[in-house]
Chains A and B, each alone.
Chain A
Amino acid sequence: MNKTIRVMIADDHPVVRTGLRLILGTEEDLELVGEAADGTTLVRLVNELQPDAILVDVRMPEMDGLQAIEHIRREWPQVAVLILTTYNEDELMLRGMQAGARGYLSSGMEVASVTWMRGRSTLLSAS
């Protein structure tokens, strides 16, 4: 039996969070353990919940996604980080990858697309 991967999502838009929650809910091997609407809350919840992986929007209030990623990679390097963008924002994705993210998912992308599947594989390989 596969180990369930504990995932957190962080996005400041409630409709996007609902969408992600529902999509992750279709994956048997993933368990959504927490949600955050800003970088500060995300860092606090990662500390409390110690998830295996997090999906992070790079544009968020207070501490933004990139700052949060840098902090999380420094404090909890075992947590797999995936960047979440609304569409392919090359510069932000590059900066996120430089900050230590393992991959990315685009919330506007088809779930059946190669890029989404690649991001999903990264998520499922987190442990």
Chain B
Amino acid sequence: MILFVAGYIVVYLHQLRIHAQLQVTYARLKASATRIEELTRAYERQRLARDLHDTLAQGLAGIVLQLEAANIHLAHQRAATAQTIVQQVVQSAREALIEARGAIEDLRTPSTDAPGVAASLQKEIDRFSAASGIPCDAQLPQELCISPVLEKHLLSIVREGLTNITRHARARHASLSLVPRSQMLLLEIGNDGIGFNPEVQPGSGHYGLIGISERARLLGGSLTLYSAPGRGTRLQVFLPGGRGGWETPGESHNKESEGKHLHE
């Protein structure tokens, strides 16, 4: 009897210890999730600030300068020159408006009844080709089930990658592929543009690459860059959660394991 009671107490104490350990692990996981959410929000705020600077602020500053020039010409009775400038201002304002619309589109979060990852990505690619005049080959999975959160981040990465091509690459051709591999997604964005040396610290104009790298890291993935001067650029982004998504709470443990695996 004494042995039975002693054994019961040992087992009970062991269970208590396990329970306490589980509580600690749960608290750590929760703290990590909160931290990731905070970092994601902070990143989004920074991205919003960058986009506002690069589109609205710069566009408006340029328009103000043009109107100032028109005003100077009017003050010197050069009405015809002023009118030419005003016509130019109208065109500049239209361009700034198109840029602002693009920035607003970038901030749009896909709704749950969105047409699917492939369709959303194709839309981004079409928008890129229409705006830049650069054709883009796409290889997209017909059926892919990922969480809305992962889809949102994936779309943002694709937008950043394509915007980088428009702004910096001077490419004639681009390509994009998304391939589910085991428990992860492989996204590749390439172009045949001027390329650059990835070993050189990027200047402040390369916020896009930093943004992609940060976003991939926050998701438990990674960015690898292949480029050389005159040889184009290829971004390779690995993201965990290719099948099933992250949004189901019961799957969180498995998804954490996938993320860790990618870092190793």
Contact = CB atoms under 8 A, between A and B. Distances in A.
Interface in B41-84: 53-54, 57-66, 68-70, 72-73
Contacts of B70: 22
Say what secondary structure dominates the interface of chain B. Answer: helix
Contact of A22 (B53, B85, B95): B85
**Would you call the interface of chain A mostly helix, strand, loop, or mixed?**
loop
A68 B234 CA distance: 26
A64 interface: yes
B189 to A, nearest CB: 17
A62 B196 contact: yes
Interface string A97-121: 0000000000110110000000000
Contacts of B53: 59, 86
Contact of B203 (A16, A18, A60, A111): A60
Contacts of A20: 65
B14 interface: no
Contacts of A39: 203
Contacts of B168: 38, 61-62
A77 interface: no
Categorize the interface residue count of chain B: 20 to 34
Interface string A1-44: 00000000000111111111011011000000000001100000
A19 B61 CA distance: 8
Contacts of B203: 39, 60-64, 67
B57 to A, nearest CB: 5
Interface string A58-96: 111111111100000000000000000011000000000
B250 interface: no
Given A19-B69, A58-B204, A14 B60 contact: no
B32 interface: no
B219 interface: no
A23 B68 contact: yes
Interface of B: 53-54, 57-66, 68-70, 72-73, 85, 88, 92, 95-96, 167-168, 196, 203-206
Interface of A: 12-20, 22-23, 25-26, 38-39, 58-67, 86-87, 107-108, 110-111
